[in-house]
Amino acid sequence: MLVIVAPGQGAQTPGFLTPWLELPGMAERLTGWSEVAGLDLVHYGTDADADEIKDTAVAQPLLVAAGLVTAHALLPEEDAARELVGAVAGHSVGEITAAALAGVLSATDALTFVRERGRAMAAAAAVTETGMIAVLGGDPEEVAAKLAAHGLTAANNNGGGQIVAAGTLEQLEALRADPPAKAKLVALKVAGAFHTEHMAPGVTRLAELAPTLAVADPAVAYVSNKDGEVVRSGAQVLSRLVAQVSNPVRWDLCMETIGQLGATCVIELSPGGTLTGLIKRNVKGVATLALKTPADLEKAKALVAEHAGEENAA
């Protein structure tokens, strides 16, 4: 069974979309979506520097557009694609990409949603200086205790002993000075404490937007960040996307479900690499491929031919 996954914020790098624009129609597609996203997606995917694309209001629409455009390059016929793909999942903002791939939202509505999500989260992040640090390794109970002691939230559980702590910069500095034993701390290139109470204003904005969007039930299994459950109601998917902004990402549970569904291959959309790395370590016996450039398409299409349609989990 083939599973398509979409990465979250922090996966973007300067110029990562440049080679994709060499494919026919890609520049035109991104240019059209730029009007909906309210920013020049071609510029931000090619010429913008690291600081420009770190901006939450830029990074989030850019990542969703990148996921959708590379999915189109891999599986150009949407209806046929949904017959081939058994399940979809995304990490954080990648869940919006997954919702569009599953047919819950149109590309236009997905980009409208992520535009407002990025703006609202950027505004919320500007209220208080916050950030995120990956805590790699260490005893899980000690890690949880240290985060609690410093008032931090476990915003992401990425499996394999990788927890992302989120909070104020002061709280994060306190963690650096008093880390869990045998744990490595890595600062993330994000502009706020996402998936925490600091993002509550973003939830309010998206709750206002949600009723204006057209929603359909997923055409393939949609694996949710909230709890790793397969969600079969489009309305429920949208409700979870709204609430997700201020709630933890349980990618560890998503990976458990991907394994339980019988996945034999996982392909990660551009800018791929982060999620396939986690899946390799946590879901054994599954073929993986990260779509980084069009040079990866030939191998990806071979994997689609080999694994698609073996068992549709929807």
Q: What is the 3-state secondary structure (H, E, C) of 142-181?
A: HHHHHHHHCCCEEEEECCCCEEEEEEEHHHHHHHHHCCCC
**What pLDDT does residue 191 have?**
76
Residues 234 and 171 in one domain: no
Residues 170 and 202 in one domain: no
**What pLDDT does residue 310 have?**
55
Residue at which a domain ends, from 187, 209, 236 = 187
Domain that holds residue 35: 2-125+197-307
> Catalytic: 239?
no
Residues 206 and 261 in one domain: yes
Residue at which a domain ends, from 187, 211, 235 = 187
Residue at which a domain ends, from 187, 215, 231 = 187
Residues 109 and 240 in one domain: yes
In a domain, 296, yes or no: yes
Mean per-residue pLDDT pooled into runs of 10, the chain (314 residues): 95 96 95 96 97 94 97 90 93 98 97 97 91 93 95 93 94 95 89 90 95 97 97 98 95 97 97 95 95 97 88 45
In a domain, 279, yes or no: yes
Catalytic residue from among 72, 91, 150, 195: 195
The structure's pTM equals 0.93
Sign of CA pseudo-dihedral 244, 70, 305, 234:
positive
CA dihedral 170→174→177→183, nearest 10 degrees, is -110
Residues 24 and 109 in one domain: yes
Catalytic residue from among 92, 224, 246, 270: 92
**What pLDDT does residue 252 have?**
95
Residues 18 and 121 in one domain: yes
**What pLDDT does residue 208 have?**
97
> Catalytic: 270?
no
Residues 161 and 225 in one domain: no
CATH assignment at residue 153: 3.30.70.250
